[in-house]
């Protein structure tokens, strides 16, 4: 269902671009690169769902006798920040601050005219931090191989869209059809990645028995 919504939002957006965006209000409402519109609200709810399910799935795996297991709680925290970022535009504001600190000229006069230095100055350390987080979480989640691999793949898609593909926007003409396809690729990678993480998290909670204990229902697990 979520995957169909991901692709449906992308189809609406690129279809509107191909038609020349004839209805301005509608175009703003379905713009994948817009703020406080349908795709933004959907992505925020999606990430919140991921964060909530991940909290339920991992909190019983945290062991007081193993302090390193507390790293698992960083996973739902990161996903909750993703949800907040969708509606509060945290990274855009942070990016503006970074531009003023790092650049001697306005962003528009640099090769990074659309993204600024955020993807480089913040993006690379953030990617490294996420990789280290997943490496640290693997000893506790690695036994649930399929869910963990799905979550890892989803995060890889999200990071690819959010940083690598977004950098391409600096090299395409704004408001062109190519720009529309760049936005489509970037945002669809993020949405599909989030959906894969949601899927993997659901499997993790089911296989570990966390959902059965949390909701008082019987679900199939690896122990069956």
Q: How far apart are CA 84 and CA 202, in angstroms?
A: 21
User: What is the per-residue pLDDT across 109-154, written as a single tens digit (0 to 9) for each?
Assistant: 777 888 888 778 888 899 999 999 999 999 999 899 999 999 999 9
Per-residue pLDDT at 112: 82
Q: What is the pLDDT of residue 222?
A: 42
Q: How far is CA 17 from the centre of its chain?
A: 24
Task: Tell me the pLDDT of the chain averaged across its residues.
Answer: 89
Q: Which residue has the tokens 């396809």?
A: 181
Task: Say what the pLDDT of residue 73 is.
Answer: 96
Can you give the pLDDT at residue 220? 44
CA 75 from centroid of its chain's CA atoms: 12
pLDDT tens, residue by residue, 22-34:
999 999 999 999 9
CA distance to 81, 89, 119, 166, per residue, from 41 (Å): 14, 12, 23, 20
Strand partners, 63: 66
Can you tell me the distance from the alpha carbon of 167 to that of 182, in angstroms, rounded to the nearest whole number?
Answer: 10
pLDDT interval class at 217 (50, 70, 90): low
């Amino acid at each position: 269902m979520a995957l169909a919504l991901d692709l449906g939002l992308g189809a609406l957006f690129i279809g509107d671009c191909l038609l020349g965006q004839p209805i301005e209000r509608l175009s703003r409402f379905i713009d994948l690169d817009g703020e406080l519109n349908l795709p933004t609200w959907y992505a925020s709810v999606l990430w919140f769902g991921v964060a909530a399910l991940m909290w339920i799935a991992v909190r019983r795996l945290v062991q007081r006798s193993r302090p390193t297991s507390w790293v698992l709680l960083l996973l739902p925290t990161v996903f909750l920040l993703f949800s907040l970022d969708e509606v509060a535009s945290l990274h855009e504001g942070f990016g503006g601050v970074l531009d003023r600190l790092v650049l001697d000229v306005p962003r528009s006069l640099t090769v990074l005219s659309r993204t600024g230095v955020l993807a480089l100055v913040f993006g690379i350390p953030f990617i490294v931090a996420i990789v280290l987080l997943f490496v640290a979480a693997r000893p506790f989640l690695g036994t649930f191989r399929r869910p963990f691999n799905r979550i890892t793949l989803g995060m890889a898609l999200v990071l690819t869209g959010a940083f690598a593909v977004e950098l391409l926007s600096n090299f395409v003409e704004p408001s062109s059809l190519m720009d529309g396809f760049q936005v489509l690729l970037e945002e669809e990678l993020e949405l599909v990645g989030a959906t894969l993480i949601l899927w993997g998290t659901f499997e993790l909670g089911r296989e570990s028995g966390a959902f059965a204990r949390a909701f008082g229902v019987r679900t199939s697990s690896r122990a069956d």
